[in-house]
Amino acid sequence: MSTLPIDRRGLLGAGVVVAAALGLAACERKAPVSLAPGVSKADFAGFIAAAKSIVGAEWVAGDAQSVKPWTKKYIPDPGNVHAPVGAVAPASVEEVQELVRIANTYKQPLWPVSTGKNMGYGMTSTAAPGQIVLDLKRMNRILSVDPELCTALVEPGVTYQQLKDYLVENNLPLWIDVPTVGPIASPVGNTLDRGVGYTPYGEHFMVQCGMEVVMPNGDLLKTGMGSTKNPSAWQAFKWGYGPYLDGIFTQSNFGVVTKMGMWLLPAPPVYKPFVVRHKKMEDVSRIVDAMRPLRIANIIPNVVLMMGAGYQLGMFARRAEVWDKPEPVPDEAFEAAAAKVGLGMWNTYFALYGTETMVAESEKIVRAAFEAIGGEVLTEADMVGNPYFHHHATLMQGGLSLEEIGIVRWKGAGGGLAWFAPVAPAKGSETVGQVALAKEILGRHGFDYTVAFAIGSRELHHIIALLYDKSDPADEKRAAECYHDLVTGFGDKGWASYRTGVQAMDLVAQQYGEVNRAVNAAIKQALDPNHIIAPGKSGIA
Amino acid sequence: MSTLPIDRRGLLGAGVVVAAALGLAACERKAPVSLAPGVSKADFAGFIAAAKSIVGAEWVAGDAQSVKPWTKKYIPDPGNVHAPVGAVAPASVEEVQELVRIANTYKQPLWPVSTGKNMGYGMTSTAAPGQIVLDLKRMNRILSVDPELCTALVEPGVTYQQLKDYLVENNLPLWIDVPTVGPIASPVGNTLDRGVGYTPYGEHFMVQCGMEVVMPNGDLLKTGMGSTKNPSAWQAFKWGYGPYLDGIFTQSNFGVVTKMGMWLLPAPPVYKPFVVRHKKMEDVSRIVDAMRPLRIANIIPNVVLMMGAGYQLGMFARRAEVWDKPEPVPDEAFEAAAAKVGLGMWNTYFALYGTETMVAESEKIVRAAFEAIGGEVLTEADMVGNPYFHHHATLMQGGLSLEEIGIVRWKGAGGGLAWFAPVAPAKGSETVGQVALAKEILGRHGFDYTVAFAIGSRELHHIIALLYDKSDPADEKRAAECYHDLVTGFGDKGWASYRTGVQAMDLVAQQYGEVNRAVNAAIKQALDPNHIIAPGKSGIA
């Protein structure tokens, strides 16, 4: 352990880096790690000791060596300022409550994660330095599944794979909706980040129903109908009575969610996936305009993806297989490489769900709409053996796949990824400026245009995968700068992110206005006066 | 004006009634009206004078005579404790901000209403005494309608009729979703109360998108994407970034909503309304079980109503036409009277929306499901000229009707109505106990079982119209006691209300747990330290 003076509150309060306090050798790569402002080495040690007594020493990491599993990240963090300083893994709600109470005692901030697999947003990295990961992975019980109401109640450590397995093992005709890395990710974690999937239940927060939350003071809140005498409607009715609170626990640091209800999709009699192929970059504008009325009228009921050639290729290919120069991959190279594997520049995935007759009727409408704008409307029969189609066909029925993780190695084995996802109304005209701006900013920093667009309902998400080589410090630095420029460049045009990684939470928060920040700050101060839950999350101290 | 001493803070703080302070003659019926705790007569006068300078004297009511239009109510309030002591009607957001600021100065609580037509929940009555209605009826601009995104941005004073007229006048193929008294009610007010309508967009809060809120300190908050540099996605994307805040401004007193975005339903090519007739009280259980899977799978996409015979008859008949005894109307009498007008004991209304083929396909499924449980599945062709069917067919396509208002005169011209709406999961088994309990409690106080059930998605609302004669003080007193017993009796079984009138807000809040109340209280204290926005709303002081 370090021989620094015990009380470094003054220095630490000023944000001074104290790697030594954590026992890190000064020469360790990316060593800078500090305790949280106002937390002394003695406070930290006190919390760690108390945490061990609560959850057992084997579930606490309190030094640089043992915390390593929680420092893995794909986002750019050249200064390593987002590494946690410890981790603690409780097994029960009661343990979470006790940990939160001692966190108040020692003023030790905690960074709650469910399974912490949010690859392009930070994994278990923290928004501000000096935090201890509150890892909820051991709380992994599926508490109930109601086959009549098509609902589930789960703990944060439950993975999508686990829930899917449960449904299959119990022969329940219910579908889940998974995000990109479904097998290892958590429904609770993804929903709290307001993540999105690919089926008609793709808006995860929309189909969330009821929460249990450990408040920063250790109190146990049940939202919605959860605290009524016989909470049989907890997973049936979202709103409860009085102010609807669930929303303030998403993308937030106002509490630790320890249970979450969710709605499950009854398996439809017929499922039919499609891809519409378009050849040119500029086609995306007309695709969005064709798609918008179909989504709004619910003819196409699922969250649709317009996958760009670059993003698609990145799933299974390395960059060198597509383009051998350091300059960003030109459209033509993407187009040619995509054509070789049966893809277009834009590959629009959607599906139809219902009876044979319903699906056939909707298909007529959809075909007419996309063929009118020069799209090739293709089905499973046309795409036999195509791994890209197979992948998306899996996702759109709530199936599990890790194939997309391949993109993190686009530029090499180093594994670097940061998602940037600005929001716009679902209008084709919005894509023109966005494509140009994204290519300009990415290109300026030497990165490729590896992207998708998604339409949830009336909004358009430009999903930009910033792919870099994390094993190359210069590339990581460029990626960090590029991400910053994406946030500010898009923000200046009014395209702000719906979500961001820990490296840019404050930057994005600035784009949502001072009153918004003031309201969040007031609620934070009221609910968490010691600021012990995830300070810095979503730009809220 | 009164000649009472100017400073009555001490007495008033203790909740003493001071009708005289408002210039009310002591002999005036139901006179007891007090200023708010901590507000002196001078404070009140100071606020009224300042308010006049802000909005113009003609838009301020500051005495018993001028406030009369805001004291109309249908809910039971034997002690008249829910009458406002004044009213002020601003014309702009800036005026609302100024009023909120001077309310802080004088500690004068304000009770915001949009149009204040929420008949069975209190109109412009207040939860706690001494409040001044902040009547937003003059802020009635439709700020934008986007025909491509199918969205609207409206002010609180806009009525459903006004919005419908706008769409018709501009030949826009968009539908709205209206609550019971649509023509005079406000989308903003209804949505903030988390009201429900009858089309696929019946869950109004679900299809709300973006708010502008005057915070209790006068700051102007725009939620979601509203504060980004070019808020073109404000009505397109609900969540924005960071904690999702909109929910805390519903059924709440944390701010004054001055603008609200909402989604509009694209008019479907074919609309086909249905009613399923069942004869016996006990049929409701199997109706719910048949309906649940159809709603969850979205085969039936709209909010469905199972209208009981009593509620239906009350729309167009007076009680004396059905039953001439003081005892509650027996099932047999309802059944017989309903049969005479082409109705069953339960009349389940739903509709199908889509192309001819889609509607026909869904109709097959629906017919099979309801005929299997002995229902008569009837369409417009079967129900020609039936005013009940016509009424519901109008509502399910977002049409406007005031016909249901008729129920307030069930027991006479006095006009008495209080809604009680406990929530349960959408399971037939829940109806058995609920029907028995409701009939027992209503019957014990001499009231009729005039009810409906509604299924929004996975939840069941028992919508109980407590109909009494407000012109009879004894009946009003019985109604107040009955409502209390309904809340507590259902609450004891775990069936808590999703919403309630001003007369029972605190009582219902007690059923949602102490932690829930503590969290709300903490947020209230943080955002509104002087408690000037609607203290008592949803049981939040």
Residue-wise DSSP of A484-526: HHHHHHHHHTT--BS---GGGHHHHHGGG-HHHHHHHHHHHHH
| pLDDT score of A413 | 83
How far does A380 lie from chain B, in Å, by closest CA?
Answer: 23
Q: Which of A122, A137, A152 is the last residue in one of the domains?
A: A137
Chain A residues with CB inside 8 Å of B495's CB?
228, 230
Give chain B's mean pLDDT. 93
Q: A222 and B357: CB-CB below 8 Å?
A: no
Q: Which of A266, A285, A307 is the last residue in one of the domains?
A: A266
Report, as an integer, the average pLDDT of B63-86.
96
Which residue in chain A has the smallest CA separation from B362? Answer: A358
Which residue in chain A has the smallest CA separation from B250? Answer: A243
For residue B21, give the DSSP letter: G
**The residue count for chain A:** 541
CA distance A219 to A221: 6
In this prediction, residue B6 has a pLDDT band, given cuts at 50, 70 and 90, of: very low
Considering only CB atoms, A242 lies closest to which of B251, B426, B456, namely B251
Supply angle C-alpha B94, B99, B104, rounded to 5: 130
B245 found inside a domain:
yes
Chain A residues with CB inside 8 Å of B428's CB?
none
In this prediction, residue A133 has a pLDDT band, given cuts at 50, 70 and 90, of: very high
B105 and B190 assigned to the same domain? no
Report, as an integer, the average pLDDT of B168-186.
94
A117 and A216 assigned to the same domain? no
B219 found inside a domain:
yes
Chain A residues with CB inside 8 Å of B362's CB?
358
Q: B511 and A365: CB-CB below 8 Å?
A: no
How far does A489 lie from chain B, in Å, by closest CA?
Answer: 12
Helix, strand and coil percent figures for chain A, each rounded to 5: 35, 20, 45
Share of chain A above pLDDT 70, in %: 94
CA distance A483 to B27: 72
A310 and A404 assigned to the same domain? yes
Q: A496 and B225: CB-CB below 8 Å?
A: yes
**Residues contacting residue A379 through CB under 8 Å, at least 6 positions apart:** A272, A273, A274
List residues of A with catalytic annotation. 121, 498-499
Phi and psi for B173 in degrees, rounded to 5? Answer: -80, 55
How far does B514 lie from chain A, in Å, by closest CA?
Answer: 9
Share of chain A above pLDDT 90, in %: 91
Q: B223 and A516: CB-CB below 8 Å?
A: yes
B88 found inside a domain:
yes
Joined together, the tokens standing for residue B231 give 């808020």
A191 and A92 assigned to the same domain? no
B521 found inside a domain:
no
Q: For residue B181, give its domain range.
A: 142-266
A159 found inside a domain:
yes
Closest by Cα among B243, B528, B97 to A517? B243
* In the predicted structure, residue B210 carries a pLDDT above the cut 90: yes
A188-230 pLDDT per residue, tens: 999 999 999 999 999 999 999 999 999 999 999 999 999 999 9
Report, as an integer, the average pLDDT of B341-355.
98
Closest by Cα among A118, A124, A35 to A88? A124
Closest by Cα among A150, A89, A79, A82 to A114? A89
Chain A residues with CB inside 8 Å of B228's CB?
491, 494-496, 511-513
Total number of domains in chain B: 3
Considering only CB atoms, A219 lies closest to which of B245, B251, B515, namely B515
Considering only CB atoms, B512 lies closest to which of A242, A512, A515, namely A242
Q: A232 and B296: CB-CB below 8 Å?
A: no
* In the predicted structure, residue B3 carries a pLDDT above the cut 50: no
HSE-up (13 A, CA, CB side) for residue A406: 16
B339 and B448 assigned to the same domain? yes
Which residue in chain B has the smallest CA separation from A491? Answer: B229
CA distance B300 to B288: 13
Chain B residues with CB inside 8 Å of A511's CB?
228-229, 241
Q: Which run of H or E residues covers position A86?
A: strand A86-88
Residue B41 Cα distances to A242, B13, B403, angstroms: 31, 12, 43
CA distance B535 to B528: 10
Report, as an integer, the average pLDDT of A495-514.
97
B476-522 pLDDT per residue, tens: 999 999 999 999 999 999 999 999 999 999 999 999 999 999 999 99
CA distance B366 to B352: 10
Q: A538 and B242: CB-CB below 8 Å?
A: yes
B105 and B149 assigned to the same domain? no
Do residues A296 and A458 make contact, with C-beta atoms less than 8 angstroms apart? Answer: yes
Report, as an integer, the average pLDDT of A69-79.
96
How far does B146 lie from chain A, in Å, by closest CA?
Answer: 11
| pLDDT score of B25 | 34
* ipTM (interface pTM): 0.94
HSE-up (13 A, CA, CB side) for residue A389: 22
CA distance A523 to B249: 13
**Residues contacting residue A194 through CB under 8 Å, at least 6 positions apart:** A204, A205, A250, A251, A498, A499, B239, B244
A79 and A162 assigned to the same domain? no
B259 and B313 assigned to the same domain? no
A337-380 pLDDT per residue, tens: 999 999 999 999 999 999 999 999 999 999 999 999 999 999 99
A538 found inside a domain:
no
Q: Is residue B521 helix, strand or coil?
A: helix
Q: A245 and B519: CB-CB below 8 Å?
A: yes
Considering only CB atoms, B231 lies closest to which of A220, A494, A498, namely A494
B240 and B288 assigned to the same domain? no
Considering only CB atoms, A522 lies closest to which of B233, B498, B527, namely B527
Residue B329 Rama label (left phi>0; alpha psi -120 to 50; beta):
beta
A331 and A253 assigned to the same domain? no
Q: A527 and B516: CB-CB below 8 Å?
A: no
| pLDDT score of A314 | 96
B367-396 pLDDT per residue, tens: 999 999 999 999 999 999 999 999 999 999
Which residue in chain B has the smallest CA separation from A516? Answer: B221
Candidates B225, B253, B271, B517: best to mutate against A (most CBs of A within 10 A) is B225
For residue B78, give the DSSP letter: T
Chain B residues with CB inside 8 Å of A432's CB?
none
Task: Provide the pairing of β-strand B132-135 with B86-88.
Answer: parallel
CA distance A433 to A502: 27
Chain A residues with CB inside 8 Å of B127's CB?
none
Closest by Cα among A427, A284, A419, A297 to A362? A297
B281 and B405 assigned to the same domain? yes
* In the predicted structure, residue B28 carries a pLDDT above the cut 50: no
Report, as an integer, the average pLDDT of B324-337.
97
List residues of B with catalytic annotation. 121, 498-499
| pLDDT score of B182 | 80
B230: domain CATH number?
A: 3.30.465.10
How far does A512 lie from chain B, in Å, by closest CA?
Answer: 5
Chain A residues with CB inside 8 Å of B243's CB?
247-252, 254, 520, 523, 538, 540
B92 found inside a domain:
yes
A533 found inside a domain:
no
| pLDDT score of B33 | 64
In this prediction, residue B196 has a pLDDT band, given cuts at 50, 70 and 90, of: very high
Look up the pTM and report it: 0.94
Chain A residues with CB inside 8 Å of B263's CB?
457-458
Q: A296 and B230: CB-CB below 8 Å?
A: no
| pLDDT score of A33 | 64
Do residues B293 and A266 make contact, with C-beta atoms less than 8 angstroms apart? Answer: yes
Give chain A's mean pLDDT. 93
Considering only CB atoms, B221 lies closest to which of A242, A247, A519, namely A519
Closest by Cα among B337, B351, B341 to B276? B351
* In the predicted structure, residue A6 carries a pLDDT above the cut 70: no
Joined together, the tokens standing for residue B194 give 């988390």
B317 or B16, which is more confident? B317
B215-241 pLDDT per residue, tens: 999 999 999 999 999 999 999 999 999
| pLDDT score of B413 | 83
Candidates B199, B207, B288, B515: best to mutate against A (most CBs of A within 10 A) is B515
CA distance A525 to A539: 14
Do residues A55 and A99 make contact, with C-beta atoms less than 8 angstroms apart? Answer: yes
Q: A236 and B150: CB-CB below 8 Å?
A: no
Which residue in chain B has the smallest CA separation from A265? Answer: B297
Amino acid code (one letter) for B331: D
Considering only CB atoms, B230 lies closest to which of A146, A493, A518, namely A493
A127 and A21 assigned to the same domain? yes
**The residue count for chain B:** 541
* In the predicted structure, residue A14 carries a pLDDT above the cut 50: no
Q: Which of A266, A281, A313 is the last residue in one of the domains?
A: A266
B478: domain CATH number?
A: 3.40.462.10
B25: domain CATH number?
A: 3.30.43.10
CB-count burial class (<10 Å; 0-12, 13-18, 19+) for B130: buried
Report, as an integer, the average pLDDT of B297-301.
98
Q: Which run of H or E residues covers position A259?
A: strand A256-263
Amino acid code (one letter) for A88: V
